[in-house]
């Protein structure tokens, strides 16, 4: 059970925040039944990664409920690029159409 908690790292492109949070909470509650909800939430947040963990902690004022942490996590993931991996797009896949390029044409004034 402890290995399952330690090896599970939150990935915003693969996992949903609510399922990941409660799965990790159940694992920690089984390992440490006397641990407070605040400590459980802090341990789970540490598994999210640096920038995402920091952004969630900045949005939630201590003490914070599990629902507030999950709502903040979902909000950050959907509205920002924090926690997402950067993927390079090859130049061949970028198609430039004539409508996307603005052409500057000189104005022709016919007899004026």
Give the DSSP H/E element, type plus range, for residue 65: none
For residue 44, the model assigns a pLDDT of 84
State pTM to two decimals: 0.61
Mean pLDDT rounded to a whole number for the chain: 76
Calculate what percentage of the chain has a pLDDT beyond 90: 0
Residue 24 has pLDDT above 80, yes or no: yes
For residue 13, the model assigns a pLDDT of 74
Tell me which DSSP letter residue 93 carries: G
Most confident of 24-33, 79-88, 99-108: 24-33
Per-residue tokens: 57:
């902690």
Contact in structure between 10 and 20 (CB atoms under 8 Å): yes
- Find the mean pLDDT for residues 18-46: 86
Give the DSSP H/E element, type plus range, for residue 21: helix 17-31
Could you tell me the residue ranges of all domains in the chain?
2-85
Residue 57 has pLDDT above 80, yes or no: yes
* Confidence label for 77 from pLDDT (cuts 50, 70 and 90): confident
Q: Is 83 left (phi over 0), alpha (psi -120 to 50) or beta?
A: left
For residue 94, the model assigns a pLDDT of 58
């Amino acid at each position: 059970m402890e290995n399952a908690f330690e090896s599970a790292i939150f990935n915003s492109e693969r996992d949903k925040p609510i399922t990941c949070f409660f799965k990790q909470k159940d694992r920690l509650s089984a390992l440490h039944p006397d641990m407070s909800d605040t400590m459980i939430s802090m341990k789970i947040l540490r598994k999210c990664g640096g920038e995402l963990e920091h952004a969630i902690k900045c949005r939630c004022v201590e003490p914070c409920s599990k629902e507030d942490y999950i709502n903040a996590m979902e909000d950050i993931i959907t509205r920002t690029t924090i926690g997402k991996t950067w993927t390079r797009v090859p130049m061949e896949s970028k198609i430039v159409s004539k409508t996307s390029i603005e052409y500057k044409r000189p104005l022709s004034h016919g007899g004026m």
